[in-house]
């Protein structure tokens, strides 16, 4: 499918690629989608934009072609997941939507008040522009589409925020029977014998209702939207992934505020876009950039891992610094550390929903809970012990897949 521009106007229209193409030099975006879910469990989406158009138009067109091509899968996923967000939870949703409305108003005010030369906020704007394009493509088909940005609560925004709802459910006291279920995710980094390769894997242990998955390949002049599985490979040679941290100290939620906050999916998108090294990624995601006046807060409670494949040379000694960084966050606090030393010493890194860094463990209530049950202490849970016991069995992709599938059975 082609998304074409209408000469100098910010008006776009679509053409089915198998039948016809845009006039020369008027192609803003091209998309291709194959629904292979019944064969492999995944749909396959490819989107490319072209640099001879304003980046805002590229962002909108990229979203538009994705929404048009995948609207059936989007509908199924929405129906199976966040469409039930407010079921038997009216008071919760009143509080949630008021929070989201205030948050979107604050984000829009920041986008509008900062100049186009402000790299960070311009890319926040591009993120929501692409989101608007997806929503417009997902909606009723039209002859023409206006390239635009909206900061609004839409089905597509709800899908993007699925990971945030794990914690916002608790912030706004959703009835416990209706809580979004925390995923029991596992992440794994393995340095193969002789340093011949580094393998990374991630499993999202969620319900069967989340199985409408799409594998996305974006070729943009700037970047793409966030991954719901939080497993992303970038053209800078970085691989980022995360596992959710299940908070044990709910008083921390008092730090959640609709103003001064960018949600996790936006910050991971921008980090994947702008970072050229693992340390850059951690810095940008943590919103410690010098161009920002303040350190912004966040909701989702995650442990992130980022590996810079550019620094890895097969068969050679691992670098001493900056190959592998981690970041752990709870509302109000972000802590990061270069963990290259861990890979050099142990040849693997496991992640399984329990914080490694002491400050996050203490503030998040894990240290207190670990005094009662070692399950909550990093290195002592069932998955931790399986990783420790079996990581040396990983010799290639097949043995890696076997280990990660085995861990699916252990929560």
**Alpha-carbon span 55 to 63, nearest angstrom:** 12
| In the chain, domain spans | 2-159, 174-212+229-407
Report, as an integer, the average pLDDT of 230-235: 85
Run of H or E including 217? strand 213-219
Torsion (CA) 152, 157, 158, 163 in degrees, nearest 10: -130
Report, as an integer, the average pLDDT of 397-409: 85
Spatial CB neighbours of 213, under 8 Å, sequence gap ≥ 6:
37, 41, 42, 43, 229
Residue 19 has pLDDT above 80, yes or no: no
Residue 116 has pLDDT above 90, yes or no: no
Q: Which residue has the higher pLDDT, 332 or 34?
A: 34
Q: Are 327 and 285 in contact (CB under 8 A)?
A: yes
Report, as an integer, the average pLDDT of 80-100: 92
User: Would you identify the CATH topology of the domain 174-212+229-407?
Assistant: Penicillin V Acylase; Chain A (3.60.60)
**Alpha-carbon span 23 to 20, nearest angstrom:** 9
In Å, the largest CA–CA distance within the chain is 68
| CA angle 210–215–218, rounded 5-degree value | 135
* Structural class in CATH, domain 2-159: mainly alpha
Q: Are 321 and 330 in contact (CB under 8 A)?
A: no
311-330, pLDDT tens digit by residue? 999 999 999 999 999 999 88
| CA angle 271–273–279, rounded 5-degree value | 40
The pLDDT score that the predictor gives to residue 294 is 38
The pLDDT score that the predictor gives to residue 292 is 37
252-298, pLDDT tens digit by residue? 777 777 887 788 888 888 898 889 999 999 999 886 433 333 334 44
Of all residues in the chain, the percent with pLDDT exceeding 70 is 91
The pLDDT score that the predictor gives to residue 239 is 95
The pLDDT score that the predictor gives to residue 408 is 60
248-257, pLDDT tens digit by residue? 777 877 777 7
The pLDDT score that the predictor gives to residue 227 is 59
Report, as an integer, the average pLDDT of 343-367: 93
pTM as predicted: 0.83
Residue 224 has pLDDT above 50, yes or no: no
């Amino acid at each position: 499918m082609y998304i074409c521009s209408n000469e100098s106007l910010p008006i776009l229209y679509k053409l089915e690629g198998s039948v016809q193409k845009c006039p020369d030099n008027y192609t803003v975006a091209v998309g291709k989608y194959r629904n292979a879910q019944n064969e492999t469990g995944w749909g396959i989406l490819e989107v490319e934009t072209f640099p001879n158009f304003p980046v805002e138009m590229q962002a909108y067109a990229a979203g538009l072609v994705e929404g048009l091509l995948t609207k059936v899968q989007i509908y199924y996923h929405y129906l199976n997941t966040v469409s039930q967000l407010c079921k038997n939870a009216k008071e919760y949703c009143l509080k949630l939507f008021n929070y989201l409305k205030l948050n979107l108003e604050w984000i829009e005010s920041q986008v509008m008040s900062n100049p186009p030369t402000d790299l960070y906020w311009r890319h926040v704007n591009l993120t929501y522009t692409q989101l608007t394009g997806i929503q417009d493509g997902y909606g009723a088909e039209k002859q023409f589409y206006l390239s635009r940005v909206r900061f609004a609560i839409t089905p597509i925004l709800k899908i993007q925020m699925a990971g945030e709802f794990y914690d916002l459910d608790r912030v706004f006291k959703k009835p416990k029977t209706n809580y979004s279920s925390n995923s029991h995710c596992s992440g794994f980094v393995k340095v193969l014998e002789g340093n011949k390769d580094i393998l990374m894997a991630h499993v999202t242990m969620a319900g069967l209702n989340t199985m409408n998955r799409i594998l996305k390949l974006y070729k943009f002049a700037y970047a793409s939207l966030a991954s719901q599985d939080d497993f992303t490979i970038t053209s800078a040679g970085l691989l980022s992934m995360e596992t959710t941290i299940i908070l044990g100290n709910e008083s921390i939620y008092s730090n959640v505020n609709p103003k001064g906050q960018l949600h996790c999916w936006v910050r991971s998108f921008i980090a994947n876009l702008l970072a050229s090294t693992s340390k850059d990624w951690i810095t940008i995601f943590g919103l410690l950039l010098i161009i920002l006046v303040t350190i912004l807060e966040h909701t989702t409670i995650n442990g992130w891992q980022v590996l810079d494949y550019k620094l890895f040379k097969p068969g050679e000694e691992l670098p001493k610094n900056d190959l592998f960084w981690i970041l752990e966050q709870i509302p109000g606090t972000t802590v990061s550390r270069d963990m290259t030393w861990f890979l050099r010493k142990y040849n693997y890194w496991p992640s399984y929903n329990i914080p490694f860094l002491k400050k996050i463990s203490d503030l998040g209530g894990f240290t207190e809970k670990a005094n009662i049950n070692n399950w909550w202490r990093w290195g002592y849970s069932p998955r931790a012990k399986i990783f420790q016991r079996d990581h040396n069995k990983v010799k290639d992709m097949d043995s890696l897949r076997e280990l990660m599938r085995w861990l699916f059975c252990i929560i």
